[in-house]
Amino acid sequence: MQIKNNIWKQETPNETLFIKKYENDIVAEKVKFIHKQLEDIEFPYVIPLKKTNEPNLLVQSWQHRSYSSDFSDKHHRKQAIKILKALHETNKVVNWKGNPVIPTQNLFNKWTVRLERFLSHEKELVPYLQHAYYEITLYAEKTLRKMRKKGEKSSSNLTLLHGDVVHHNFLITREGMKLIDFDLSVIGDPADELILWLHRALPTVNYDLFELLNENRYLQEMCLHKLHYLQYPNELLREWLYILQLGDMEKEAFLDYIMPFTERALRHWPELIAKSEKIK
């Protein structure tokens, strides 16, 4: 049974399988390499791969009665950070930097390109966002200037980053929370991944940065020196660029979500900036 364009659920005499087909051979190679390394060290938070002779297929056991995590749930948040910490610390036993199939992340460059794309679509976006378009642009530009001025060097403790820490990539299974979908994995600074996770989690706690930092020591230890990265409105830029890819009917449905999300985020942004500056 086809679930998405590249994902199938297949019944066999012995079990149900999850099958994902990759069009990009390099991504398929990367994901399989990461799984092999993690499975070799018995990393407990991944779903093992099944053997297949097809290089562009990823095959796993179908996780019955599983569901996505919910970052509004404190237990789920704490477990997600526990898993990310464990993933980052695998660099003690795995030489992730030794394989060129995993690219190295430069968050400043990535965010600069994202803002440039946003600016290039001003005519399409302003009719929806109106003045909010310029607020988002201003926050992004100020943060990039701040990042350039501070010029922090990346951690010497570079490691594997999952690369896409959205809530549905933390899957609740009968064996506990598992981390899935390593398609966007990169080598980078653990602090950058935690900042991206904070961007995802903040809306679920009414943008209360203190609450998230206080409930998890790893966040405090790793990313306090980069809290000004939170001032970059990453989720707004990403979501509004995504909407440009949608057809008219999908776009109308997505607007029902993104418009109030944007209004709420911008309402909290000055306070978020103040808190991130105060903590440092």
Q: What pLDDT is recorded for position 150?
A: 82
pTM value is 0.96
Q: Which residues in the chain come in under a pLDDT of 70?
A: 152-155, 280
Q: What pLDDT is recorded for position 125?
A: 98
pLDDT tens readout for residues 27-53: 999 999 999 999 999 999 999 999 999
Q: What pLDDT is recorded for position 254?
A: 96
Nearest to 182 by CA among 168, 167, 163, 202: 163
Nearest to 94 by CA among 31, 43, 138, 142: 43
pLDDT tens readout for residues 210-264: 999 999 999 999 999 999 999 999 999 999 999 999 999 999 999 999 999 999 9
User: Mean pLDDT of all residues in the chain?
Assistant: 96
Residue 212 is encoded by which pair of tokens? Answer: 């998230």
